[in-house]
């Protein structure tokens, strides 16, 4: 059943949000219904896009929120937690750090139930990412339906029509890419048509049958990635015809091309990945110049020529101080950087609070409203790596080496170009991708896809050290947790409230996890 006007569309949207197992429907209705009911022009839809689809940047005082995967950079092998007592006054409030560790415990140690704190005395909502992204997707669906009903005649109206349509398509694709890489299995080309991803909702109205327990079925991976690809191709076509917004806070054609090239890598469609990454690199894609000394230099600023698009908040404003009861950069990551790599001084720093490594100035430090997200940021540096990786898998090793060397030559002092081949070339591209894109939301998804790659699969265990402290900050013990190769915990469980509301929806095979080792350490 379709509805003839926008007022009924907003009602269907609220119903869909409730059907997906979400909450606070009355608040959503209050927040969004005025904008959607009064849509009459492309400009109105543009405002809805800004207010209800783009993820705003917020000043975060804590990462203890499940909104939009605040935990994403805390689950891979680039992080660890700090052990032991501080050698100096800690820079973080023990109560705040305790809250953060309680929230992150279930995620960073890959628990079956991520909502529980370490001592099981606190629980946290786990459906924030699911809820938020599906709400934004449905607004995209409404915009894409409604925009075709608006009569546009003037040149600037036609240009705006294409831009708004392009942005809505791009955002829907980006949100589904995030959802399927969190709640769906890694994309294996041999099994993608049989492996479940997430529900694929593209209509602007409610599809509801009262007698069905499962209102929204989980679509197979190949269907979801095909939709992501189609959305991005359509967005690129419309961006080429549309008006231009000169800000990295709005999506662009080049951002869509980089994301499409990433999708090509994930699905092993290397021709597509190479084509669109190459278009971005050839379209005046510059690399950020880094200082050779350890000067105060922030990598992500408005002057960075690499940044193509970013939305959402920065989750590192209160994390990675490398103080006890906080997170630190893993030694495994730090040791992969060459001694002359200029990124080491910018990205990392040693501290007086422990023997661990802190995140330095890849992002601006301190509590602030950041315009650079650690999850939804797209930049041309990735395009260089996507082009190199796709070329390597296609057997075009000359192109792969050219762009890998170009990136590394920009980052490493007195760099001497290398010519690599075969698996050695692919391994180095993967290693450089880890170094270059660390803490930008890529690593977790990358190690998932490497594990099922049909030509050069790669997987290894990840060991997480988790420090246990008292409420006043006294160190108690170190616990070690292991994420095995191809462990089911590389995929999050469907949120509990969604499972309860949709009892027929298949769940993921995530396991209960106990520490593999407990070590009592005295200081």
Residue 370 near residue 364 (C-beta atoms within 8 A) = yes
Strand 378-379 to strand 307-309: parallel, antiparallel, or no bridges (unpaired)? antiparallel
Q: Smallest Cα–Cα separation from 10: which of 198, 166, 146?
A: 146
SS3 274: helix
Please, where are the H alpha helices in 147-220? Answer: 155-183
Please, where are the H alpha helices in 109-154? Answer: 128-146
pLDDT tens track, the chain, 523 positions: 333 333 334 433 433 444 343 433 333 333 333 345 568 899 999 999 999 999 998 877 667 666 789 999 999 999 998 886 655 555 555 555 677 888 899 999 999 999 999 988 888 989 999 999 999 999 999 999 999 999 999 999 999 999 999 999 999 999 999 999 999 999 999 999 999 999 999 998 876 565 555 567 999 999 999 999 999 999 999 999 999 988 999 999 999 999 999 999 999 999 999 999 999 999 878 899 999 876 789 999 999 999 999 999 998 876 677 777 788 999 999 999 999 999 999 999 988 767 789 999 999 988 888 899 999 999 999 999 999 999 999 999 999 999 999 999 999 999 999 999 999 999 999 999 999 999 999 999 999 999 999 999 999 999 999 988 877 777 888 999 999 999 999 999 999 999 988 888 999 998 899 999 998 866 5
For residues 165 and 8, give the distance between their C-alpha atoms in angstroms, rounded to a whole number: 21
* 26: Cβ contacts below 8 Å, ≥ 6 apart: none
Six token digits for residue 182:
């969190």
């Amino acid at each position: 059943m379709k509805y003839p006007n926008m007022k009924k569309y907003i009602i269907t949207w609220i119903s869909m949000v409730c059907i997906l197992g979400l909450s606070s429907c009355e608040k959503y209705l209050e927040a969004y219904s005025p904008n959607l009911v009064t849509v009459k022009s492309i400009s109105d839809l543009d405002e809805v896009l800004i207010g209800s689809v783009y993820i705003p940047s917020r000043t975060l005082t804590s990462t203890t929120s499940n909104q939009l995967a605040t935990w994403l950079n805390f689950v891979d092998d680039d992080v660890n937690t700090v052990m032991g007592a501080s050698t100096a006054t800690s820079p973080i409030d023990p109560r705040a750090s305790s809250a953060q560790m309680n929230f992150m415990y279930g995620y960073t140690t890959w628990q079956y139930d991520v909502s529980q704190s370490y001592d099981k005395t606190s629980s946290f909502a786990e459906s924030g990412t699911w809820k938020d992204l599906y709400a934004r997707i449905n607004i995209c669906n409404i915009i894409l339906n409604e925009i075709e009903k608006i009569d546009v005649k003037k040149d600037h109206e036609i240009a705006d029509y294409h831009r708004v349509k392009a942005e809505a398509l791009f955002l829907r694709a980006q949100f589904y890419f995030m959802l399927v890489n969190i709640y769906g299995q890694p994309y294996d080309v041999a099994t993608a048509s049989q492996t479940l991803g997430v529900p694929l909702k593209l209509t602007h109205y409610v599809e509801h049958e009262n007698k069905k327990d499962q209102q929204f079925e989980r679509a197979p991976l190949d269907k979801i990635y095909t939709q992501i690809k189609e959305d991005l191709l359509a967005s690129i076509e419309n961006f080429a015809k549309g008006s231009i917004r000169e800000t990295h806070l709005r999506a662009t054609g080049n951002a869509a091309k980089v994301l499409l090239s990433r999708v090509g890598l994930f699905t092993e469609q290397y021709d597509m990945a190479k084509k669109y990454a190459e278009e971005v690199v050839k379209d005046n894609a510059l690399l950020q110049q880094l200082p050779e000394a350890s000067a105060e230099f922030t990598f992500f600023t408005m002057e960075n020529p690499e940044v193509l698009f970013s939305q959402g908040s920065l989750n590192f404003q209160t994390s990675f101080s490398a103080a006890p009861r906080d997170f630190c950069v893993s030694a495994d990551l730090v040791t992969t950087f060459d001694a002359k790599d200029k990124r080491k001084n910018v990205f990392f720093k040693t501290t007086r609070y422990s023997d661990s490594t802190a995140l330095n100035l890849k992002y601006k430090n301190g509590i602030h409203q950041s315009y650079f997200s650690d999850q939804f940021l797209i930049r041309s540096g990735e395009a260089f790596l996507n082009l190199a990786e796709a070329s390597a898998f296609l057997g075009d090793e000359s192109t792969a080496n050219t762009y890998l060397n170009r990136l590394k030559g920009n980052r490493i002092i007195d760099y001497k170009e290398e010519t690599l081949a075969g698996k050695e070339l692919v391994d180095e591209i993967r290693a450089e991708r880890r170094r270059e894109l660390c803490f930008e939301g890529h690593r977790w998804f990358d190690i998932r896809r490497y594990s099922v790659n049909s030509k050069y699969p790669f997987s290894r265990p990840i060991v997480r050290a988790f420090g246990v402290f008292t409420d006043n900050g006294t160190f108690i013990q170190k616990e070690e947790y292991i994420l095995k190769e191809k462990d089911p915990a590389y995929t999050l469980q469907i949120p509990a409230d969604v499972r309860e509301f949709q009892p027929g929806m298949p769940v993921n095979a995530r396991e209960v996890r106990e520490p593999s080792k407990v070590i009592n350490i005295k200081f």
